[in-house]
Chains A and B, each alone.
Chain A
Amino acid sequence: MHPAPSVLVFTVLSGLGFGALAFLAVFVHPYGWPAFALWGLGYGLAIAGLLASTFHLGHPERAWRAFSQWRTSWLSREGLAAVATLVLLAPVALSDWLGLGLPRAFAVPGAVLALATIATTSMIYAQLKTVPRWNHWTTPAQFFAFALAGGAMLTGQGVAPLLLALLALALLAHWHYGDRRFAEVGASMGSATGLGPLGRLSVFDPAHTAGNYLMREMIFVVGRKHAARLRVIALVFACLIPALILFLPAHPATTGAAVLAHLVGAFAARWLFFAEAEHVVGLYYGKRQ
């Protein structure tokens, strides 16, 4: 699948933002300007991610319509959950900043919805049977691990190193199972064309001699040869380096450095998430490796 920059930014930043919001709502009770900074960071990341997602739309001015189909569409649910989270947590954030003393119970629905947002984002991808690598429990696991580990780091939680270790496991599981998923699902050029029972199949003549939307969007082959190296880079930057930095004395600078390193790894991992994912339509083009 084509790793569109807008979608990478959307999933990485909004994941981190909603993870941070969940922690801020329940486990962190900042007040005054530190509260403003932390909540501002959470909101800023979440909103930046959501805005980035509109850049890959053909008609962003119609994006409001995406709130209507929550009954069947994970993308619609994602939009609703995201906006509901931001709305519900706004009074809590204001209360923390201005010291209004709103009871903490008010933050619980928002925290639950922040987690729901992360779940719905992951399900946009995990629901697709056509992309076997994504259509697996390791996709939500990876999205949750990223959001929670990133959120814990950003809000200075002691549990962050443990969550980073879980993230490493989630990534390893996604790669381990992902590499087998296509074969497991059983789609082949034979089943795609129905000609499998007749004999050995190969592409004789392509349907078109130039590229098209399908090939640009779903048959992304560039860079797969560096997959192994990128996996190591993702693990080292997203998990290992931040975990080591977090053992240094707590300071905004160390937290910042840990989060920045984590983001580099997160972008590498998310790029791979798309670049390595193969869509079954590639079978018609003989582009399945």
Chain B
Amino acid sequence: MATAETKKGAIAGFNFSEKECVWMRARVVATKYCDNAFDCTTCAFDKGMKKKMERESLDAGWNTKMFALASEEQRCRHALTGRAPRNKMCARNYECGDCPFDQMLDDMIQVDHTLFGPPQYLNAHGYLVPRDYYIHRGHGWARVEYGGRVRIGLDDFGNRLVGTVDRFRLPSLGTRFKLSEESFILSREGQEAGVKAPLSGVVTAVNQKLLDYPACAHDDPYSAGWVMLLDPIELKGDLKELYFGVDSVKFVESEAERLLSMITDDPQRAAALGGEPLPDIYGSFKEIGWNKLVKSFI
């Protein structure tokens, strides 16, 4: 499933501006794309390269390597990290300390200093689908972060489906989940829904704000409404089971159509233009029933 926009076996991380391995960025190797969520600590390639550099007593800094490149390749260091346009050239012999462009960028860094920078959204029949997030068929989302950790939550469709939740039950720190196992529980008016884990892993952080403010998840499902952080067990394998990018959009669109078919007799003919989905679908169509909605979608 997770094929669109990602190379086979690659992991799309959140807020990683480029996919190039750090060794490729430093031009030590010609072509190498990160396939480990920039978690160099567990990367076999990184370990191998470090050993090789030690063995060959190579210790050139990145700027020394830059001077060895042809002049047309002497790009600004920020072009390499994605903070400046790719064709931005260095005009100051990599003396960044005196470069006004460098200083301007450094002054702007606070704009996206946290991992919680707002995601970019795609639109699936009015439901928000974030870029760089993976979506499980049970509407859990997974976002690969710094250090290879994975943040988990419930997507916009799922939140609108269950509407105003009264209570969250979160797993304990250290709990281990398998892919698609029930991971956290939300309840409304005494009825419960268990959300399936988008991937297998060990819980290493939970968002206790949801215990005091359960509406957080509904109001901001992909940022403040995060539920837990997982230390993944089989990251690469599990991500292949999830939707990503355009596939996520197609999946949520198909779910929206399936939902509409529960409400109206002839959904195929209802080609809507524009509009926003209701914030509380269960509350608006209680005749469908909680169990049916939850079983069908979550």
The answer to whether A and B belong to the same complex is no
**Chain B positions near chain A (C-beta within 8 angstroms):** none
**Chain A positions near chain B (C-beta within 8 angstroms):** none
